[in-house]
């Protein structure tokens, strides 16, 4: 296996890469198919070394050809291989036809279709449909996918789980739920968007030893956030540094009864490494801040109180617990008038949606519901087309946009779109967005680059969430993630 590239590609782009390898770099298509078969079986045996037999479902195209190669190599290595042809072998063409012929020449046989064959092996290999599928799965193929789903065996998907749209992650009627997906040449968008993460399982990538020149000039649709962004945003500090060099975050929000939100954001900014953090909140929320003595605080009754606090801040974090009252609207207006770099979240986004404007020096962090209000559409529409929604938000409002949710997307002006493949379902709980706001603001205060802070902050927040979930996802609290942030921002 080779190192994971940062890029995610649309199906058409992967096919273009494949064609370039064949036409410009003299790599025969069947050689690539053979390498894909070896990569799949190697990953399978590494994951399940005790497996002694496999059931391979082979479809009508090159994905099916990959499956026949897997079955042939498995037999050569001493495993039993039960092969189900989801399409008549006589209808196969090109490299897939050759793969079937070589499987048969090596002594392999295709077994008659019956649902119980799915339980005949220790591991199932799904090689039914590849990236070309765009219609709903029906007929025999649907029966086979159902048999795979109910077999009670671990499943390896070849390139992409069958039934999953390669570009959107939408389920086309029914889709395989794989434990492991072995993907080739370029990682597929559909494994990371929509329902993709629920169906792809653990993803292993193999570039099939493609020359690097194959990728020249082909820009990925998304790139994956990683720890290198945290290192870029937060280099090692000089031993002589002092708190004044690491920025001053002002967290603004905390309407009456909502003091917990600003406290979470403030603590997160501190744990992300900000030198100073002040929380500006409604007087009735001051008591919530007393348990964290490292946080400075200021009670704000009016915009005049806020204007004095803003003067000392290098970055604003606006919105946690703000509400939508007349007080909130006054504070919101005063914060925007300060024209300082800021991170905007929660009800501040709803207030912005009511009076849209665009700025360069901010990071907007909507969840899908807030994004829908900001775009004048529905939450379902945002979720169906998350990449499009993130790009539309950035185009309309400027700056950097973090579209939160499973697979958070960071849309920047100059650095394209990024996706986070870290995090877990335990993070779907109250206060988690407040923590993210604080993390991004805290990193921005240190590095002075809002886009980089958003990228690094989303990754660090998700990585901390995964550390916090080591003891179990259910019952995970936002404050548990704060407790793990130091490891995420000190990863070197």
Ranges of beta strands (E only) in 295-423 are 296-299, 315-318, 342-344, 362-364, 400-403, 409-411, 417-419
Query: Distance between CA atoms of 199 and 190, rounded to whole angstroms?
Result: 10
Note down pLDDT in tens along the chain; length 492 residues. Answer: 444 456 999 999 999 999 999 999 999 999 999 999 999 999 999 999 999 999 999 999 999 999 999 999 999 999 999 999 999 999 999 999 999 999 999 999 999 999 999 999 999 999 999 999 999 999 999 999 999 999 999 999 999 999 999 999 999 999 999 999 999 999 999 999 999 999 999 999 999 999 989 999 888 999 999 999 999 999 999 999 999 999 999 999 999 999 999 999 999 999 999 999 999 999 999 998 888 899 999 999 988 899 889 999 999 999 999 999 999 999 999 999 999 999 999 999 999 999 999 999 999 999 999 999 999 999 999 999 999 999 999 999 999 999 999 999 999 999 999 999 999 999 999 999 999 999 999 999 999 999 999 999 999 999 999 999 999 999 999 999 999 999 999 966
Decide: residue 216, CB within 10 A, 0-12 exposed, 13-18 middle, 19+ buried.
Answer: exposed
Query: Distance between CA atoms of 447 and 435, rounded to whole angstroms?
Result: 18
Distances (CA, A) of 11 to 188, 191, 313, 457: 7, 11, 46, 29
As beta bridge partners, residue 249 has 277, 315
Dig out the tokens for 470 from the structure.
Answer: 């080591």
Cβ–Cβ < 8 Å for 465, 424: yes
As beta bridge partners, residue 81 has 54
Query: Distance between CA atoms of 407 and 420, rounded to whole angstroms?
Result: 5
Distances (CA, A) of 66 to 61, 100, 240: 9, 9, 58
Query: Which pTM was predicted?
Result: 0.94
Cβ–Cβ < 8 Å for 85, 58: yes
Dig out the tokens for 231 from the structure.
Answer: 């290192």
Chain Cα centroid distance, residue 485:
19
Cβ–Cβ < 8 Å for 348, 386: no
CA trace torsion 250, 254, 255, 256 (10° rounding): -130
Ranges of beta strands (E only) in 119-171 are 123-127, 155-158
Q: At what angle do helices 478-489 and 259-271 cross, to 10 degrees?
A: 20
Q: Tokens 């042809």 — which residue?
A: 85
Distances (CA, A) of 275 to 154, 288, 296, 319, 443: 49, 21, 12, 21, 10
Q: What pLDDT is recorded for position 491?
A: 67
Ordered by where they begin, the domains of the chain are 7-221 (3.40.50.10260), 227-489 (3.40.1190.20)
Distances (CA, A) of 399 to 50, 413, 434: 52, 7, 19
Dig out the tokens for 426 from the structure.
Answer: 């335990």
Of 430, 413, 404, 424, give the one whose Cα is nearest residue 468.
424
């Amino acid at each position: 296996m080779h190192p994971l590239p940062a890029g995610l590609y649309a199906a058409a782009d992967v096919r273009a890469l494949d064609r370039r390898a064949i036409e410009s770099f003299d790599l025969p298509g069947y050689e690539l198919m053979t390498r894909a078969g070896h990569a799949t079986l190697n990953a399978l045996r590494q994951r399940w070394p005790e497996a002694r037999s496999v059931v391979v479902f082979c479809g009508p195209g090159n994905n099916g050809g990959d499956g026949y190669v897997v079955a042939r190599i498995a037999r050569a290595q001493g495993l039993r291989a039960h092969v189900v042809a989801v399409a008549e072998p006589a209808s196969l063409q090109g490299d897939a036809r050759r793969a079937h012929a070589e499987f048969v020449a090596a002594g392999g046989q295709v077994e008659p279709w019956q649902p119980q064959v799915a339980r005949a092996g220790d591991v199932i290999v799904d090689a039914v449909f590849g990236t070309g599928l765009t219609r709903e799965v029906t007929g025999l193929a649907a029966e086979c996918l159902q048999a795979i789903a109910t077999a009670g065996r671990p499943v390896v998907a070849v390139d992409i789980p069958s039934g999953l749209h390669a570009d959107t992650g939408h389920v086309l009627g029914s889709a395989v739920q794989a434990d492991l997906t072995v993907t080739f040449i370029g990682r597929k968008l559909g494994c990371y968007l929509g329902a993709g993460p629920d169906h792809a399982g653990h993803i292993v990538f193999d570039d099939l030893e493609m020359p690097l020149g194959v990728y020249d000039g082909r820009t990925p649709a998304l790139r994956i956030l990683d720890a290198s962004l945290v290192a870029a945003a937060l280099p090692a500090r000089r031993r002589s540094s002092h708190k004044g060099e690491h920025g001053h975050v002002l967290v603004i929000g905390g309407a009456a009864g909502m003091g917990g939100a600003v406290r979470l954001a403030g603590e997160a900014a501190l744990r992300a490494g900000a030198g100073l953090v002040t929380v500006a909140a409604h007087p009735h929320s001051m008591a919530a801040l007393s348990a964290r003595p490292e946080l400075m605080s200021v009670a704000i009754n009016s915009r005049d109180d806020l204007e004095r606090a803003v003067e000392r801040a290098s970055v604003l974090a606006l919105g946690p617990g703000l509400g939508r009252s007349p007080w909130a609207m006054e504070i919101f207006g005063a914060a925007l008038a300060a024209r300082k770099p800021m991170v905007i979240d929660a009800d501040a986004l709803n207030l912005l949606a009511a009076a849209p404007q665009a700025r360069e020096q901010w990071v907007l962090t909507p969840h899908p519901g807030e994004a829908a209000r900001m775009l004048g559409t529905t939450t379902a529409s945002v979720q169906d087309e998350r990449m499009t929604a993130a790009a539309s938000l950035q185009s309309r409002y400027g700056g950097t946009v973090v579209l939160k949710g499973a697979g958070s997307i960071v849309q920047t002006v100059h650095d394209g779109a990024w996706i986070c493949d870290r995090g877990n379902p335990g993070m779907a709980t109250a206060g988690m967005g407040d923590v993210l706001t604080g993390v991004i603001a805290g990193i921005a205060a240190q590095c002075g680059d809002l886009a980089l802070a958003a990228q690094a902050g989303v990754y660090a927040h998700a990585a901390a969430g995964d550390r916090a979930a080591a003891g179990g996802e259910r019952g995970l609290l936002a404050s548990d993630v704060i407790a793990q942030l130091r490891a995420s921002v000190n990863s070197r």
